[in-house]
Structure 1
Amino acid sequence: MEPQSIRAQCEDAGVELVRLLYVGNDGHIHGHSVKRAHLEDALESGIQLPTLIQSFNALGMRVKDADFDAVGEVRLVPDRSTFRVLDHEDSVAAVCCSLYETDDQTPWAADPRSALSGFISTLADEGVVPSTALESEFHFYTPGDEGGADDEPHGTRGLYATASMREFNEIVLETIDALESQQITVTKHCPEYAAGQHELVTKHREGLTAVDDYVFLRETVAAIAESHGFETTFLPFPFETATNGCHINLSLWNDSNLFAPTDADRALSPMGRHFVGGVLDHLPALLALTSPTVNSYARLQPQSGAAAFCCWGIGNREAAIRVPELPADKRESATRIEFRPADNTANPYLSLLGLLAAGWDGVQNETDPGLPLDEDPGNCRDELLDQRGIERLPTTLGEALDALEQNDVLRSALGEQLFDSYLTVKRSEWDVFTDSAGTWQQDIFREAF
């Protein structure tokens, strides 16, 4: 889309500010706003940013010994194809951006979106295109008066409760309308088990588009909830007995679905099985990208519907990888894998990059995933798990980061600069958590001991 066309759309819609959005190592969505009068220059060459943006962690802390400090700049360059007018906000549009060196031509080696784009190009050279949809779970809640201690999830509790549908019908309809005005097709909404918990499922999209759509979805859900007096949280474990995931549905295509089986007795093609084998092979390290906060591991518990074991299964929602059960006439179009141990604290570009890199390594090496597990691994005897080689996933962020540090496949996919800066930032979060152990819950332990 040409800058003149974007400016004309802004004038027609009365847009005064255009947000330039990006996601950093911290997993947060960030941005700058540009006035319409200065838009064309920003669309052509971007705006200047300090490199130290990649040295902040999810706690909002600048990591002092990180890879980037006060010296150095890059440019935030819009991908003009992602431009959308935000009809649900006053006089605002937005566009997703990548980070470039100051020459405006060279992608910055520490930019997650550019790294994913590069890997997708590598797959394209092999005649392969990923088709992806991210399922986003989140909570509506009412802010309390005690700095978060008395926040309360709002709504009726109960799996797929129609009472919750009725309570939030106006907000959900408004959100869907806003998303579809941005060319994001919502295929399903459902209330989840916990009070105030909901899920929106969007249509599969190719390449980067699915992740860009997810960024816009996050922003849209939050904005519309705020207009109705609610806060939203996408945190993996926001309240007791409540979790939020971001399941990644993925298939690979050329002219047809490369995961679709030709054998009616199988759920996946050989390529699909090898892809699953690669993901399982790299899963402990992959979690550091897809479940990248301390809070993530409170979600990844047995029999919580979030996946706690390194296994795959057909229709198995306790497996790390679920292959949905499909009727025969849907296999060609809808066969896919659903990666379950992913959440919304991740940088979504890194989540998909890691998943693609792990799976593609399995395709290249024809990695055998073993037999699918047809029962809840949390109910399996230890002897069966040992026999099948099914292990518990990492139980802490520190354990996952240790696995990531040793993983050459993911290191290569991210590139040294992005890999090292990401690892340093996430190590800082783990260090803050472990350093707090000395004072954590002193009042409770005083009473107990």
Structure 2
Amino acid sequence: MATAADPRDLRARAEVQARELAAAGVAGVTVGWADNNGIPRSRTVPIAALPDAATTGIGVTSLFAVFDSADTITYAYEGLATPSGDIRLVAELDGLVRLAGQPALAWAPGRQVDADGEPWPYDQRSVLIRQLARLADAGLSALIGYELEFGVYRDTEDGELIPAHHGPAYSPAALTEIDGFVESVLRDFAANGLHIGQLHAEYGPAQVELSLTATDPLTAADNQLLARQTLRAAAHVHGLRLSFAPLPSTSSAGNGWHLHTSLWRDGSNLLAGGPQGPGPEGAAYIAGLLRDLPAVAAVTAPSLGSLARLRPGYFAGAYRFWGVENREAPLRYVPGSALLGADHANVELKTSDASANPYLALAALLAAGAAGVAEKLPLGPPVQTDPGTWSEADRAERGIAALPKTPSEQEAALTGNLRIAEVLGKELLGAFLAVRRSDAEAAVDRETDDVLAGLRWRY
């Protein structure tokens, strides 16, 4: 891994890459990361500065950890309660790619370290790396596949939501309205090393979905950020604007960024099984996710937009249960088949969206599932209908409760779960919660559509 390389070897590698990119016409490199709101942030340096960016990093303020969703800095967390302080943003060369849609730029994921180059407790990417090391110690690995839903709109000066396609849902006719954009996406993703499983017009007006093929968790999180950069560049070329927000408006379809995960040991997919569910270890993985789901969802769907999207009957996963191919379930088990093979099996987390930091989301999810495996948790029977249509008494009888519906309920779920809180660490958890509280306080006495409009273009 690049982070453990000898600095001299790393610099030499970066110098070679910088010369090659410069010769190809690249003028700069953008180093990106995601903050505690899931919002991409970045620094861009001249291509000649790549060796420095990869070894000694780029100076940035430590306060990015306490930016809220409106770019307001909250000083409510005592660990970052001062405007003083600087950290370094280090470019990870393993993720370096020339941007097909912005050919004068390259892109690389960033890792945040303190001023001395030591691990910084607020670096989200390091949280996932640490969790993956724990998985490896247990003899486990994982594959992650993302589904990205987003709205495609005409770019207007006032940001009005004018759909760029008008359906019908899942129709090729819808995509003809945005044919040039679709072509750019397909070509640019391939050139940027991003592998699309499928792309289609989704259910909602103006909505599109694409899926990224499964890969290792760290690459999947890096690719999620690169996919956003690639999509936005393609949209700009065609006079379009994209909303990745969980809910662009109360009249819009919700955008989930669903996580498909599988857990592996010695080359075998533990989730392999049949229509009734996976084998014992795979079942324990789902049981771990189910047990910790309220706390996990506070990380994977943490924003006010997330809570507005979390509605029964909208395939958003509003209640705590699992099902086999049940699209209303927050945990949807997808079995393998004779056609696709047993190793196709995975579990989809639907309570996930673009307002989640991808590194924290995957770390929390994998920690919950791995704990289930370690403890050999039993898994109850699947639910194959929509509990949202049941009575409160029926849900209570089956032990099915709604996931947290308010910021305070989410905070209680997260702080009350020591397993997931420990994954983030004391410092980062404190900053994460301070940001959530800042968002909630800013939304007091505001109409829901006003709040959603403020988040519409943020992610």
Q: TM-score, normalised by structure 2?
A: 0.91
Q: Secondary structure of 2:397's partner?
A: helix
Partner of 1:45: 56
Give the whole-Å Cα distance in 2 for the aligned partners of 1:287 and 1:355.
Answer: 9
1:101 aligns with 2:114: yes
1:71 aligns with 2:81: no
Question: How is 1:61-140 mapped onto 2 (pairs within 5 angstroms)?
Answer: 61-66=72-77, 67-68=79-80, 69-104=82-117, 106-140=118-152
1:253 aligns with 2:261: no
CA, structure 1 residues 420+331, in 2 after alignment: closer, same or farther (shift >3 Å)?
farther
Match of 1:22 among 30, 33, 36: 33
Identity level (%): 30
Deviation at 1:265? 5.9
Tell me how many residue pairs correspond in the alignment.
436
Give, as a single letter, the amino acid of the residue that structure 2 aligns with 1:260.
Answer: L
1:297 aligns with 2:310: no
After superposing the two structures, state which structure 1 stretch, 337-346 or 135-144, moved more.
Answer: 135-144
Give the whole-Å Cα distance in 2 for the aligned partners of 1:87 and 1:184.
Answer: 11
Question: What is the CA RMSD across the aligned residues, in angstroms?
Answer: 1.9
Whether the 8 Å contact between 1:259 and 1:272 is mirrored in structure 2 is yes
Give, as a single letter, the amino acid of the residue that structure 2 aligns with 1:108.
Answer: W
Whether the 8 Å contact between 1:260 and 1:331 is mirrored in structure 2 is no
Give the whole-Å Cα distance in 1 for the aligned partners of 2:265 and 2:291.
Answer: 25
Segments of structure 1 that go 5 or more residues without pairing to the other structure are 442-449
Deviation at 1:113? 0.6
Match of 1:207 among 198, 203, 217: 217
Q: Secondary structure of 1:15's partner?
A: coil
Deviation at 1:164? 1.0
After superposing the two structures, state which structure 1 stretch, 352-361 or 381-390, moved more.
Answer: 381-390
Match of 1:179 among 185, 189, 196: 189
Render the CA deviation track for 1:83-132: whole Å, top value 9, x for unaligned.
0001211310010011112222x221111111111111111122211100
Whether the 8 Å contact between 2:144 and 2:259 is mirrored in structure 1 is yes
Give, as a single letter, the amino acid of the residue that structure 2 aligns with 1:50.
Answer: T
Partner of 1:386: 396
Give, as a single letter, the amino acid of the residue that structure 2 aligns with 1:79.
Answer: E
Whether the 8 Å contact between 2:180 and 2:238 is mirrored in structure 1 is no
Give the whole-Å Cα distance in 1 for the aligned partners of 2:156 and 2:99.
Answer: 29
Segments of structure 2 that go 5 or more residues without pairing to the other structure are 1-9, 452-459
Give the whole-Å Cα distance in 1 for the aligned partners of 2:444 and 2:417.
Answer: 24
Give the whole-Å Cα distance in 2 for the aligned partners of 1:201 and 1:265.
Answer: 23
Q: Secondary structure of 2:169's partner?
A: coil
Deviation at 1:411? 1.2
CA, structure 1 residues 234+25, in 2 after alignment: closer, same or farther (shift >3 Å)?
same
Q: TM-score, normalised by structure 1?
A: 0.93
Deviation at 1:282? 1.4
Give the whole-Å Cα distance in 1 for the aligned partners of 2:216 and 2:447.
Answer: 44
Deviation at 1:295? 1.3
Match of 1:372 among 360, 372, 382: 382
Q: Secondary structure of 1:218's partner?
A: helix
Give, as a single letter, the amino acid of the residue that structure 1 aligns with 2:122.
Answer: A
Q: Secondary structure of 1:326's partner?
A: coil
Match of 1:406 among 392, 416, 434: 416
Whether the 8 Å contact between 1:23 and 1:347 is mirrored in structure 2 is yes
Whether the 8 Å contact between 1:276 and 1:369 is mirrored in structure 2 is yes
